[in-house]
Amino acid sequence: MKTPSYTWICHKCSAANPPNSATCECCGFPAMATGKQIQAEKPNLGNDRPAVHMFTSSDIFLFFPEIIPAAILAVWSPFWAIQLLLESHFLAALTLLCGVGASGYAFYSGVRSKQKYLAYIGVLGMLLSAGLALQLSQHVVAT
């Protein structure tokens, strides 16, 4: 079998292999693979990945209908906070920013680590923070 006289990269697993090695040290894939062989391996690579990394927004949407108001809130809350500050509702603005910020982080961590409950707590936290901020802004009389 022909072997490369240079350091080569495996077509299947992308491992670097020393010169004159006929097969990949990592996965055993031949160095001089034909185009057909490489093509045959590509779909396998594609199938491996989703199992590991697929936890996408569509997955989240199935579980949490609350994510829609939470997402709107995440975008809208800075503007609302500025408005609250202008109306001297400092406590409400602070509650809103801290609550949405912390909840947003919890949601992000939950998605990253695939912990759906943490993500859900993040979503609920955002809605609760907004509700609390709304209460605070209505109870404090601006002078």
Cβ 3 to Zn ion shortest distance, Å: 15
| Cβ proximity of 29 and 23 under 8 Å | yes
What mask, x for binding Zn ion by CB under 5 A, covers residues 13 to 42? x-x--------x-xx-x-------------
Cβ 50 to Zn ion shortest distance, Å: 20
Part of the chain binding Zn ion (CB under 5 A), chosen from 11-19, 52-60, 76-84, 127-135:
11-19
Cβ 9 to Zn ion shortest distance, Å: 9
CA distance 117 to 107: 9
Packed helices 67-86 and 116-139: angle between N→C axes, nearest 10 degrees: 30
Three-state secondary-structure class, residue 94: helix
Tell whether residue 11 is a contact of Zn ion (CB under 5 A).
no
Cβ 5 to Zn ion shortest distance, Å: 19
Cβ 24 to Zn ion shortest distance, Å: 3
Classify burial at 116, counting beta carbons within 10 Å of its beta carbon; exposed 0-12, middle 13-18, buried 19 or more: middle
Nearer to Zn ion, 30 or 101 (CB): 30
Tell me the number of residues near Zn ion by CB under 5 A.
8
**Separation of CA 26 from chain center:** 29
CA distance 61 to 8: 43
Residues forming contacts to Zn ion in the complex (CB under 5 A) are 10, 12-13, 15, 24, 26-27, 29
